Structure 1
Amino acid sequence: MTSDLEAQLRAASLRVTRPRLAVLAALHDHPHVDTDTVIDLVHANHPTVSHQAVYDVLRVLTDAGLVRRIQPAGATARYERRVGDNHHHLVCRSCGAIVDVDCAVGSAPCLTASHDHGFVVDEAEVVYWGTCPGCATENAPSSSTNPEGNT
């Protein structure tokens, strides 16, 4: 995997560095994580990489299009490696889990604005909100009690 990551950095005209490789590897294995989680994941294998280096790498990788930054309303920014396909996300209102959802229809921008106001639209961002299966099961009323409270 390291050679693939090195090739991606070079293709984006970026120098191959240990912090950049570490961040890309962390995001490969853990999509949709926040900055603090990326720092923890990087430190697990590279304890000398500073917090600031991780922040800088995330910015550089995002600017280069190798990483996508998403920030659902009311949530901290998250990062993922899946880029360039204009996919969308499902977010659990209970636990905050985020999963990818392919484009609603067709190719990018996937949706057509009712009025584009002269903009050249090249991307649409959709966030679906709901409850993940684990939280739905956890929050479901028990089937062992009837409405009168008798078991």
Structure 2
Amino acid sequence: MDRTGGSRSATDRAADLRAGGLRATAGRVAALAYIDEHPHVSASDVYQALREELPSTSPQAVHNIVQDLHQRGMLRRTDLPGSAGARYETRTGDNHHHVQCVVCGRVEDVDCVVGHAPCLTPSDSHDMRVFVTDVTFRGICRSCEQTEPVHAAE
């Protein structure tokens, strides 16, 4: 399922949750909306964004929400090098990759580099059927490079 686009209504998100076998709680609907509009965020980022709107929520409740949504295929979880925790996004169902700035940590989507999923084939699959390849390109964004030059060897 690809759930991109911040124009989805709370009613649409609630229907998605129910279709995924989950109750449409205010926390789940709000978390989906926030992650839809702010891809590649951590559970902590979601908590910080929602705590005014949902003052009774807790960091653990938000962690449980993103885990539930990930387990139901409604969120994609990505563990990026140098990140304090997993990042979540609503873009699911494809085999896209990421590019990450090593200075500011900004993360952007990169469509599959070549061919069909998975984009890369291992030299030895050890008798496993490979169905996804996670690739993270790491570099430096223009904004960071202007203020803090980083050499390619780093």
TM-score, normalised via structure 1 length: 0.87
CA distance in 1, matches of 2:81, 2:61: 27
- What's the CA shift string for 1:23-42, capped at 9, x where partnerless? 10110111111121110111
Aligned equivalent of 2:130: 121
What code does the residue aligned with 2:36 have? Answer: H
Q: Distance in 2 between matches of 1:97 and 1:104?
A: 20
Query: Matched residues in 1 for 2:104 and 2:148: separation?
Result: 12
Per-residue CA distance 1:78-127 (angstroms, 9 max, x = gap): 11111110110001011111110001112211221122121100000000
Partners of 1:58 and 1:12 in 2: CA distance: 14
| CA distance, structure 2, for counterparts of residue 72 and residue 51 of structure 1 | 21
RMSD: 1.3
Aligned to 2:12: 4
Residue aligning to 1:91: 100
Length, aligned pairs only:
140
Of 41, 55, 59 in structure 2, the residue corresponding to residue 33 of structure 1 is 41
Per the alignment, residue 148 of structure 1 pairs with: none
Q: Point out the structure with max Rg over C-alpha.
A: 1
After superposition, residues 1-151 of structure 1 pair within 5 angstroms as 1-76=9-84, 77-139=86-148
Measured against aligned partners, the alpha-carbon deviations of 1:15-60 in whole angstroms (never above 9, x if no partner) come to 1111110110110111111121110111132222222211111110
